[in-house]
Amino acid sequence: MTVIPLHRNAPAATAGPADLTVEQVKTLLAPINPSRVQNLKGQSHLEAWDVRRWLNRVFGFGGWSDETLELVCVAEREINPGRWTVIYRAQVRLTVKTTDGRTLTAYDDAAMGDSRNQPSLGDAHDMAMKTALSQALKRCAHNLGDAFGLSLYNDGSRQAVGIWSAAHPKPTDDADVPAVPDDAPVKPEPAPVVEEQAPAAEQQVQRSKRAEGGPWESSPQQAQQAQQAQQQRPRAVPDQQAGPTGPSRDYVADAQAAESRERFDQVRAAAVAEGAPPEYLARLDAVAQQKEQAAQQQAPKQQAPRKPSGPKPGPARPTAVPSVPTVPDPEADAARQQHAVALAELLAAGKSLALEPSHLDDIATAEAGCKAADCTVEQLAGLTADLRAAAEGAAA
């Protein structure tokens, strides 16, 4: 009996670039649609759900997978009674496959994720874990090119940086390849609600350019209306702990209410630490200038001698020394600005460790013998360096 061998064209065990389809290659080399790009604190990025959607589009359902290699709780702190900040580190592996199920390649990457000032410890852990895992997955995916945000690392550019690949020749007839359709603008995932008693610095989030304007983007008319509303509403807490108006604290109103130059410098330093743009800081400086001009105009009126009251002059009293109008001092102004910047850097370093201003005052008192606002520029720089070193050690 003659046996006729049966030959089967079984797929190779490994796959390479040539196993991608023409449609997949064109999609991966195309520039990213600007409507997919979000902006957070001046950094362009993609939403995690949008990255998963495009993994499905390019490689198909079941054509990719992600694996959690590591998920570690780095820090868990109760920053205030009943308020929690949690930080996680995650390492993720992204594996992509060909259309016939063979493994094409895999990428590993890691990221940190935090959840700040949350009223529920469980929600804080849940949000920090999801943030770390999502960030790690996005970092893995950007190796797949512009469709997954590679160009955004080029100073946020939306123009393609991949453009071509020697392993994937360009199709001879682009008309034979279907064009990638446009989508509606991508919106951020809903953020958790933070209660009003949370510090304003923890609630400040810079929104996407396509979302409603943030506190730094409000028009002068809107800012004036918010300022008038805050002045008419009685304060239930001291000025340095005033609650936010809308999404953030109204620093213009606090600058108007500042009773001294030192208090104004503290308000301005807090605005710098929260990421206020130059045009907003210019408005704060204009408030300080107006207050100084008003003080100079009132000084001559305060020098006028008082007329004696009553029928009899009585014994002579020592004459009060008239106050001298304030003369602008460029060197003093520069020193105050330098001190405000140093104080803002200390606040920013403390914020990275979830430290409140009161905690920073305790640290400054222990190290320098005075509160943070009363420290010298050199002392503030030393405290800031110590906090940054502690943050780097926690990250490591």
Cβ contact 83:225 at 8 Å: no
Q: What is the span of the domain harbouring residue 144?
A: 17-173
- Report if residue 130 sits inside a domain: yes
Q: Which residue has the higher pLDDT, 330 or 267?
A: 267
Give residue 75's pLDDT: 92
Q: Is the pLDDT of residue 203 over 80?
A: no
* Beta-sheet pairing, 64-80 with 103-118: unpaired
Distance CA 10, CA 24 (A): 23
- Report if residue 367 sits inside a domain: no
Q: Which residue has the higher pLDDT, 180 or 162?
A: 162
Cβ contact 91:108 at 8 Å: yes
Q: Which residue has the higher pLDDT, 2 or 73?
A: 73
Beta-carbon count within 10 A of 237 CB = 9
The answer to which of 6-15, 90-99, 305-314 has the lowest mean pLDDT is 305-314
CATH number of the CATH domain containing 76:
3.30.390.80
Which secondary-structure segment (H or E) carries 90? strand 83-97
Q: Is the pLDDT of residue 136 over 90?
A: yes
Region 118-122: mean pLDDT is 92
Q: Which residue has the higher pLDDT, 339 or 213?
A: 339
Q: How many domains does the chain have?
A: 1
Beta-carbon count within 10 A of 236 CB = 8
DSSP state of 17: G
Give residue 52's pLDDT: 95
Residue 9 has φ and ψ, to the nearest 5°, of: -85, 80
Percent of the chain at pLDDT > 70 equals 68
Give residue 39's pLDDT: 83
Q: Is the pLDDT of residue 137 over 90?
A: yes
Give residue 128's pLDDT: 94
- Report if residue 151 sits inside a domain: yes
Q: Is the pLDDT of residue 207 over 70?
A: no
Region 277-300: mean pLDDT is 78
Distance CA 315, CA 279 (A): 57
- Report if residue 61 sits inside a domain: yes
DSSP state of 168: B
Give residue 309's pLDDT: 53
- Report if residue 183 sits inside a domain: no
Distance CA 35, CA 209 (A): 10
- Report if residue 101 sits inside a domain: yes
Give residue 244's pLDDT: 37
Q: Is the pLDDT of residue 65 over 90?
A: yes
Cβ contact 98:121 at 8 Å: no
Give residue 308's pLDDT: 53
Which secondary-structure segment (H or E) carries 80? strand 64-80
pLDDT digits (tens, 9 = 90+) for 28-41: 988 888 888 888 77
Structure-token pair, residue 281? 């800081």
Q: Which residue has 């949350």 as its token pair?
A: 118
Q: Is the pLDDT of residue 227 over 70?
A: no
Percent of the chain at pLDDT > 90 equals 25
Q: Is the pLDDT of residue 364 over 90?
A: no
Q: Is the pLDDT of residue 121 over 90?
A: yes
Give residue 43's pLDDT: 83
- Give the length of the chain: 396
Give residue 2's pLDDT: 57
Q: Is the pLDDT of residue 120 over 60?
A: yes
Cβ contact 348:383 at 8 Å: no
Per the DSSP assignment, residues forming a β-bridge with 113 are 88
Per the DSSP assignment, residues forming a β-bridge with 94 are 66, 107
Q: Which residue has the higher pLDDT, 130 or 177?
A: 130
Distance CA 165, CA 158 (A): 19
Q: Which residue has the higher pLDDT, 314 or 264?
A: 264
- Report if residue 238 sits inside a domain: no
Give residue 336's pLDDT: 79
Residue 182: pLDDT band by 50, 70, 90 thresholds?
Answer: low
Give residue 234's pLDDT: 46
Give residue 311's pLDDT: 54
Give residue 197's pLDDT: 44
The answer to which of 49-63, 151-165, 322-336, 381-395 has the lowest mean pLDDT is 322-336
Residue 396: pLDDT band by 50, 70, 90 thresholds?
Answer: low
- Report if residue 143 sits inside a domain: yes
Helices (H), 248-317: 251-257, 261-273, 278-302
Distance CA 82, CA 62 (A): 42
Distance CA 14, CA 98 (A): 10
